[in-house]
Amino acid sequence: MIKLTFLGTSDAIPTAKRNHTSILLTYKNENILIDCGEGTQRQFKKAKISPTKVTRILITHWHGDHVLGIPGLLQSLALMGYNKTLFIYGPKGTKKFFKKIFETFVFTGEKYPIEIKEVSGKFLETDEFTLNAEKMSHKTPCNAYSFIKKGQIRIDKEKLKKFKIPSIPLLKKLKQGKSITYNGKTYPSKQLTYQENPKKISFVFDTKINKKIIPFVKNSDVLISEATFSQELKELAQEYNHLTSQQAAEIAKKSKSKKLILTHISQRYEKNLDIILKEAKKVFKNTFLAKDLDVLEID
């Protein structure tokens, strides 16, 4: 199961209810933090999650509302005895900015290894998932990201019962695609297993509309997109290199995504959030508006 925790859902200026942007994606032993706006550490506390669980950080771009929480998080991890390698990924310029962070701040506590990479395309692949990046159109280098959980071979337990096959120690062979023999009869792996569908989660923050978005997020099970402006301010959105809620919905529809989650909401809509949500729903019905500390689980 994939779990998404929305730690912060505001745009550049936070509100009393919305912190700066940050999302935690949890899958098995991985806890991947997408952006780390100011106050993210405190949001971890509110969500009752230890920041020491973080294994990787994905930085979309280096505007303050997406990264000002990083120095504090790095300091806290040192004081909390973080003992893993922290992997950090970002767009062009990320190494330069981290060099400046380490030159500017005096960190105390135990040191731990940090690996920093500037990424594009498929930049990480494990046996169970891949991470991908695509350049977006913003005022500074900016990446969109996707997390794709690979479809695993699963045992059909109902068929095991049907043929009265004990589940142990034969499971390993079946998952490896090998045939098994039980009571003198051979069963091909395909007869007792099935391939689950992959799951794709896409993150699109801070970009104006561009041709790269739809191909990159195509067939997402969940598309998480900024919706900084309503459609009536589309010219302002274009000027500031952002998306409107209607544009986000059109991306979801054209990319054949299954669910759209809107985030990075401007403070101007704090008292009338329905403007953003209703506008998107007219185009893409399965749209939701994220709130701070919302949790979404994807099977």
Residues 6 or more apart in contact with residue 253 via CB below 8 angstroms: 283, 284
Rounded CA separation 130/124 (Å): 5
Q: Which residues of 228-267 are buried (b: 16+ CB within 10 A; e: fewer)?
A: bbbbebbeebeebbbbbbbbbbbbbbebebebbbbbbbbe
Q: Is 11 a catalytic residue?
A: no
Of 232, 285, 297, whose CA–CA distance to 258 is shortest?
Answer: 285
Kindly state the DSSP code that residue 45 receives in the 8-state scheme: H
Task: Please tell me which residue in 65, 206, 221, 292 is annotated as part of the active site.
Answer: 65
H-run or E-run covering 281: helix 274-281
Pull the structure tokens for residue 84. Answer: 């893993």
Q: For residues 2 and 201, what is the distance between their CA atoms, to the nearest angstrom?
A: 9
Alpha-carbon 203 to chain mean position: 6
List beta partners, residue 154.
Answer: 194
256 SS3 class: coil
- Annotated catalytic residues are 65
